[in-house]
Structure 1
Amino acid sequence: MRLDLAIRGCRVLVGGELIEASIGVAEGRVAAIAKDPHLPKAEVELNAHGLIALPGMVDMHVHLRDPGYEWKEDFHTGTMAAACGGVTVVADMPNNRPPITTTARLRRKVEEASAKAVVDYALYAAASRRLRELDGMFREGVVGVKAYMASRDPELVVDEGLLSRVARRVARAGSLLLVHAEEVGELSSMGARSVLDYCRARGPALEYRGVKAALRAIAGLDVRLHLCHLSTIGSLRELRRAKQSGLKVTAETCPHYLLLTLRDVARLKALAKVDPPIRGWRHRAELWRAIGEGLIDALASDHAPHAPHERWVDDPLEAPSGIASLEVALPLIEDPRAIPSQGGPSGGGRRGRSARVDERGVEDNLA
């Protein structure tokens, strides 16, 4: 066997177990995993003693901002961050400028991605009233359709009736329907004076109602529904019921919901502004428990970068929402200190085994 690269002396995650082994790479693909003496010499030899080799992660929810918002990030800088963070496949959301609601816009985005990306990528189409455009985008290879029940872009806002029509198109194509599930009215009517006010005004009930609406929209349809960035106890309750009823529904949560609480929002202000908002410690504890039980199917970063001058503003309704985390999501979640205790907001008490995320969980479910 001729190898281009040998990575020797590391511990390799195989089937949920860490084993002492070396890795052989040929023509850009893993060709062998074997004990070091049995792995032939390669053109390039790397000493990885003391290191752990994990499979490359798949992040199914990122916003790389290209095309349309390249001053925030583009496919090159975003995928470089992904590679640094151990993410080898990203699936990019369609809320670009203009949003990816037509085949022509999708083709332009493919051109940008193919010229700049340094890791593998997949793209989503955006749900809109241009329902016929979805068929063309399916033929172009999108891996799913993202529907926004809450968005600053009026072209992207989808109500329950339109969501049901989109779901029928997605079902016919055998594709995946992803939903930002929040029933949010005019943000300016929330009366927020700070980011903490914003979090409380855009409260758990809005996400709960959005999840219920999304589930109603797919009733009776043979369609796969994925609920994005769940953050509340009520949403988890509806997710459990939906799965028990036999619906084809999956869900994700994100590192910021697992690591931050409203106390952090008070300190970080606009830097912690995200949609849905950061919640209180009880919601965080339930999210960790749902991961341990397997109720949450995937962890996704919801990576959403902005330029610094956009974040340092006084009015929380003017500050764009989103947290940039592609480079740090996996290291943060893998840090045992990330797991909250079961004793309350101050962090006292025992850490529950049900809250643990071990290497196997990351291997299987960090999407």
Structure 2
Amino acid sequence: MDAILRSAGWLSPEGLRRTPLAIRAGRVDDAAPARAYALDLQGHVLLPGLINAHEHLHVNAVPRLRQGRVFANAYQWIEAFQAHFADPAVAAALAVPKALRLRHGGLKNLLAGATCAAHHDPWDRALDAADFPIALLRGHGWAYAPGWPQYGPSLRESFLATPPQRPWLIHLGEGTDAVARAELGQLDALGCLAANTVLIHGVGLGEDDQSRVIARGAAVVWCPSSNLALLGRTLDPRRLHAAGRLALGSDSRLSGARDLLDELRLAASIGGLDASDVFDLASARAADVLRLDRGRLRPGAAADLIVVADRGGAPADSLVGLRRADLRAVVRGGVPSIADPDFAPWFRAAGVATVRVELDGRPKLLAKALADPQLLALEPGLSLCEPVAPARAAAGAQA
């Protein structure tokens, strides 16, 4: 459905534009379509959908470790988690079919305005579903971590198999001890520190390490909530941010924030960065780090966007600090996926059937394609307000 959105402004690469935002065939257009649905959004700001640069989509309903222990590195946390698999609540969460758990991770992101994510685990055919809730990083390479080679592809083999124009992701320096501090040198010695290398966490990176990362054109994904929960510390993001070599990720709920909006709020409060800076880490800068044609509203870009009430100041000031129920609408491909009830005419004009839901105590309309009761049952704070038939059960319960 073509549309013209007249708002207080929309955030383009050139800054806040006061002209209407035109959408044609699911993409931002530089000219108003001849026939289009016109929507008056005065008093609102339109922002590009967020990009979650680090996520494990399939484990967001798995309970965390019960003890609130601080670890010297992530490998100690992984070892502690092995006994946690015997917890009946963990076993029950992992008994849910993996396809449904992956879809839940997508929905979790969508509800918070993250319309694209980087999934740091083996690819699953369920991620290729045409109606998957969000877009995903594709064509990239990855390894899990230097100190945990038993999971995922071989580190050096996966790096060499990744085209240099595509990102290669690896957990690295996720700790505060000598093990974490040594990992960048080990990676470099293997020949795996290059311009397409994306290091997840990087808490153990010292000043010289950050200099080496910047000099090689590599980048780091900052996940402060997860770092503070597991390690009691996170990195100082300012130097990597200034160099354009930093993005933001939420990690999964096993250790990280509830969602990327919560991560934005924390990042703005502890990192010495303002709202515009941290929004950039989850939009344009994340797109640059992950080599995605996303994160900016410009002609030809996918019309994935967030509608928020204009709170004044810079555009990011209207988003950073909000919680997911505060978002007026989350839009994918030019049509709303979830929105406040007064957006019902937009759903109808787009031919999108909806169901009434409640999100954190607020009434919302959700695209019916996303309203499988089995899916919604996995997400705390989200509930149906009307009967909906369950979708066909996904086959295969995989861990």
Contact 1:182 1:207 in 2 (8 A): yes
Task: Compute the displacement of 1:43 (Å).
Answer: 4.6
Residue 74 of structure 1: how far off its partner (Å) = 2.0
Aligned match for 1:13, one of 11, 14, 17: 11
Aligned to 2:38: 45
Per the alignment, residue 253 of structure 1 pairs with 222
Give the match's secondary structure for 2:143: strand
Please report how far the alpha carbon of residue 333 of structure 1 lies from its aligned counterpart in structure 2 after TM superposition: 5.7
1:227, 1:81 → 2: CA distance?
24
Give the residue type in structure 1 aligned to 2:21: I
Question: Separation in 2 of the partners of 1:145 and 1:353?
Answer: 29
Structure having the larger proportion of residues in helix: 1
2:211 and 2:204 map into 1 onto residues whose CA distance is 13
SS in 2 for 1:213: helix
Matched to 1:209, the amino acid is A
Q: Distance in 1 between matches of 2:274 and 2:211?
A: 16
- For the 8 Å contact 1:7–1:23, the answer to whether it is kept is yes
Answer whether contact 1:181 1:227 (CA < 8 A) is retained. yes
How much has 1:363 moved relative to structure 2?
3.6
Deviation at 1:298, TM superposition (A): 1.4
Q: Verify: 1:29 aligned to 2:27, yes or no.
A: yes
TM-score, normalised relative to structure 1: 0.57
Task: Check whether the contact 1:66–1:112 (CA below 8 A) recurs between aligned residues.
Answer: no
Q: Is the 8 A contact 2:58 2:104 kept in 1?
A: no
Question: How far apart are 1:62 and its partner, in Å?
Answer: 1.1
Q: How far apart are the structure 1 equivalents of 2:275 and 2:181?
A: 22
Structure 1 pair 331/360, CA: closer, same or farther in 2 (3 Å)?
Answer: closer
Deviation at 1:143, TM superposition (A): 1.7
Instruction: Rate the CA distance shift 1:28–1:70 in 2: closer, same or farther, 3 A.
Output: farther
Q: Give the structure 2 partner of residue 357 of structure 1.
A: 277
| 1:264-309 superposed Cα distances (whole Å, 9 cap, x missing partner) | xxxxxxxx34xxx230xxx55x22x22542254212222x13xxxx
SS of residue paired to 2:43: coil
- Could you tell me which of 194, 218, 223 is aligned with 2:191? 218
**Would you say the 8 A contact 2:181–2:204 is kept in 1?**
yes
Aligned partner of 2:150 in structure 1 is 155
**Superimposed CA distance per residue, residues 19-44 of structure 1 (whole angstroms, 9 cap, x where no aligned partner):** 222212122112237xxxxx568553
Q: Which residue of 1 aligns with 2:125?
A: 110
Counterpart in the other structure of 2:202: 230
Computed over aligned residues only, the root mean square deviation of the Cα atoms, in angstroms, reads: 3.8
Q: Secondary structure at the match of 1:51?
A: strand
Q: Structure 2: how far apart are the matches of 1:113 and 1:80?
A: 15
SS in 2 for 1:203: coil
Match of residue 239 from structure 1: 210
- Identity across aligned pairs (percent)? 19
Is structure 2 residue 321 aligned with structure 1 residue 326? no
Q: Which runs of 5+ in 2 are unaligned?
A: 61-92, 288-399
How many Å separate the matches in 1 of 2:247 and 2:176?
23
- Equivalent of residue 278 in structure 1, options 232, 248, 269: 232
- In structure 1, the residue corresponding to 2:256 is in which secondary structure? coil
1:212 shift after superposition: 2.1
Q: Distance in 2 between matches of 1:242 and 1:291?
A: 9
Aligned-partner residue type, residue 237 of structure 1: D
Change (3 A) 1:327 1:364: closer
The verdict on how the C-alpha distance between 1:163 and 1:362 changes in structure 2, with shifts beyond 3 A counting, is closer
Distance in 1 of aligned mates of 2:278 and 2:158? 37
Distance (whole Å) between structure 1 residues aligned to residue 263 and residue 40 of structure 2: 23
User: Which stretches in structure 1 are left out of the alignment for 5+ residues?
Assistant: 34-38, 95-99, 101-105, 124-141, 184-201, 262-271, 306-320, 341-351
Structure number with the bigger relative contact order (C-alpha 8 A, sep ≥ 6) is 2
**Residue 83 in structure 1 maps to residue 83 in structure 2:** no
Change (3 A) 1:69 1:290: farther
Give 1:218 shift.
1.4
Structure 2 counterpart of 1:180, which letter? H
User: Aligned partner of 1:21: which letter?
Assistant: T
Contact 1:167 1:217 in 2 (8 A): no
Q: 1:55 aligns with which of 45, 48, 55?
A: 48
Count of paired positions: 253
Contact 1:9/1:50 (CA < 8 Å) preserved in 2? yes
Contact 2:59–2:105 (CA<8 Å) still a contact in 1? Answer: no
TM-superposed deviation, 1:69:
3.8
